[in-house]
Amino acid sequence: MEATAPPLWAIPLACAVAVASINLLLQSNWQNKIADIEQQLRCELEPAQNADSVADVRVLGAIGVLEMSSPVDMASLQKFFLDQGVWIRPFSKLIYLMPPYTISSEDLSRLTGALLKAADLSTWNQEVAYCPCTVCTNRTKV
């Protein structure tokens, strides 16, 4: 008969970590942070609507998604993201962000910038000159 107790010993520790994590979340202003992230994602991903390679841009809360017109080469795209200094994992036709609620505006701009580059925005009309949102610090061409 095999002993099953050792793996169970970790359960109290895991529960304590989960409770501490929930307490940190509840002590923070997480609703406003998610709203800020959503506003920044909408603002910074909106130009991708004009890219031929993008079928749809969706944002809900702290989740931003570029749905591409066709499935992406995941290995090549992941290497591209690593070369950009970001960790983004595409899935089939989706390139998505689910940043932590603690992300800074600058770090989120770095992620969205990598998504826009990946969408090959060299052919779209850059009529949106400046990001109008009040959250991000991106005051240059998007």
User: Distance (Å, rounded) from C-alpha 81 to C-alpha 66?
Assistant: 14
User: Distance (Å, rounded) from C-alpha 54 to C-alpha 51?
Assistant: 5
pLDDT of the chain, 142 residues: tens digit per residue: 555 656 667 788 889 999 999 998 899 899 999 999 999 999 999 999 988 899 999 999 999 999 999 998 888 898 999 999 999 989 999 999 999 998 999 999 999 999 999 987 433 333 444 455 555 555 444 4
Q: Looking at domain 30-123, does it have CATH number 3.90.1150.10?
A: yes
To 5 degrees, how large is the angle CA 42–CA 107–CA 20?
100
Report CA-CA distances (Å) from 120 to 44, 47, 57, 68, 97: 15, 11, 14, 11, 17
Domain regions of the chain by residue span: 30-123
Residues 6+ apart with CB under 8 A from 26: none
Q: Report the largest interatomic distance among the alpha carbons of the chain, rounded to a whole angstrom.
A: 70
